[in-house]
Amino acid sequence: MSCSSLLPLIVLLASSPAAAQMPVLELTAGFHRIEAEVAANDANRMRGLMNRRSMPANHGMLFVFVVAARHCMWMRNTNLPLSVAFLDDDGRILNIENMQPQTENSHCAPNAARYALEMNLDWFSSKGIQPGTRIGGLEKSPRPQ
């Protein structure tokens, strides 16, 4: 292939969603490590894990909200079954909700949440992680926008 025939491919790849990657942050839940993509702005929070077909083990997405509130999540255009943990300002899990793909049911925090952490379905329960557990590493997350 010549350089001129590669140019359209490079432009296509550069404009793809994969090229617009979110920052990744290492978190901890007890002695479990999590690699979390961080959705700290409106566009990333709205896109979340939509249209993905898989997510590696111990990977997730951390949503960082501008204000602590009773935030809710849903699964429109999301193909993966997920569990979401809503976290307070200190990173303590308020509640954990299981969410099924392609549904629009609201899954909400019971109290003011600053963060939401989405993982593959049943990740939290399989690790014995329950409400009250503190998620470490949140202090390194980008500031919400």
pLDDT above 70 covers a percentage of the chain that reads 86
pLDDT for res 21: 82
Full residue range of the structural domain in which residue 42 is found: 22-140
Q: Is residue 10 part of a domain?
A: no
Are 26 and 39 in contact by the 8 Å Cβ rule? The answer is: no
pLDDT tens string 91-136:
999 999 999 999 999 999 999 999 999 999 999 999 999 999 999 9
Q: Is residue 101 part of a domain?
A: yes
pLDDT tens string 45-62:
999 999 999 999 999 999
Q: Is residue 12 part of a domain?
A: no
Q: Are strands 32-39 and 59-69 parallel, antiparallel or unpaired?
A: parallel
The pTM of the full predicted model, rounded to 2 decimals, is: 0.85
Q: Is residue 3 part of a domain?
A: no
From start to end of the chain, where are the E strands? 24-29, 32-39, 59-69, 72-73, 82-87, 93-99, 107-108, 113-120, 135-136
Please name the amino acid found at residue 140: K
Number of structural domains (the chain) is 1
Rounded-to-integer distance, Cα 33 and Cα 98, Å: 20
pLDDT for res 40: 95
Q: Is residue 81 part of a domain?
A: yes
Q: Is residue 16 part of a domain?
A: no
Residue 32: CA atoms inside 13 Å, Cβ hemisphere, count? 19
